[in-house]
Each structure stands twice: as structure tokens, then as C-alpha cells.
Amino acid sequence: MPVESDDELRQILELDTVAVVGCSTTEGKDAHEIPKYLQEHGYDVIPVNPYADEIFGRRAYDSLADVEEDVDVVDVFRPSDEVGGIVDAAVERDDAGVIWTQLGIRDDEAAERAENAGKRVVQDHCMKVEHQRLMG
């Protein structure tokens, strides 16, 4: 069952390192502005974008599998039909305990696979909105 309670969301928002799959270099896009907000609020944001070398002064990785640092949360800014592959990559990692899909992004089948693998899943919620609401 995907995470819905405020208590569980708060616990997740207290984690530190967020790999942002689909992080954008384009100012004004949600996939740029939300990770920027997270970085400005103390999160260690790791950009994942195969078309960028660097975002926010950090190396951008081509894929989640390429990320060398430990990851707490995988934040997904990709279309719903790509979530399954991202979930599979997250399940392969021992470190990524949470998979978070942004507003309008969900894949119930992939979420169930992630949960069966011991991951917590937040679907169709904005990490910035939840942070402002619960931690602000």
C-alpha cells in the first residue's frame, strides 16, 4: 500500500539524499525547480539525466544504476510508462528505500513490485508541496 499518512511522509521527508530521475536543466520546469527547492532546503540532490553533464553544480548521472553515492529516496520526474523500469533499477539498489513519483505520475503494478521488494512508495505527490505542508 503506497504511503499516504502524514507521519510516514514526515519520516520520508527527514531522509537526506534524493536521486532525481528526470532532473531538468531548464529553469521554470517542475523537474528543475522542485529539485532546486529540495537542495535549498538541505537535501543532497543527485541529478539523473542522460542528456546533462551537470545540474546544480553536481555531476548528472546517465541512469539510477550509475549513481555512485548512497541514495535514500528516488524521486521520479518521468512519464508513468517509464516508472516500471525506474522501479526495477531502484529495487536493484540496496540503499534506495523510498520511491517517490511526482504529481500525475503513477504505476500501481511497479509500486506493488517495489513494496514486495521492501521499498516504501509515494505516488502522485509533489515532494516540494509535502515538504512545505509538513516540514515548513
pLDDT of residue 91: 97
Q: Which domains does the chain have, with CATH numbers?
A: 6-135 (3.40.50.720)
Site of grid cell 535514500 = 72
SS (H, E, C) 63-112: CHHHCCCCCCEEEECCCHHHHHHHHHHHHHCCCCCEEEECCCCCCHHHHH
Tens of pLDDT along 39-75? 999 999 999 999 999 999 999 999 999 999 999 999 9
What's the rounded Cα separation, in Å, for the pair 25 and 68? 21
Tens of pLDDT along 75-116? 999 999 999 999 999 999 999 999 999 999 999 999 999 999
pLDDT of residue 97: 97
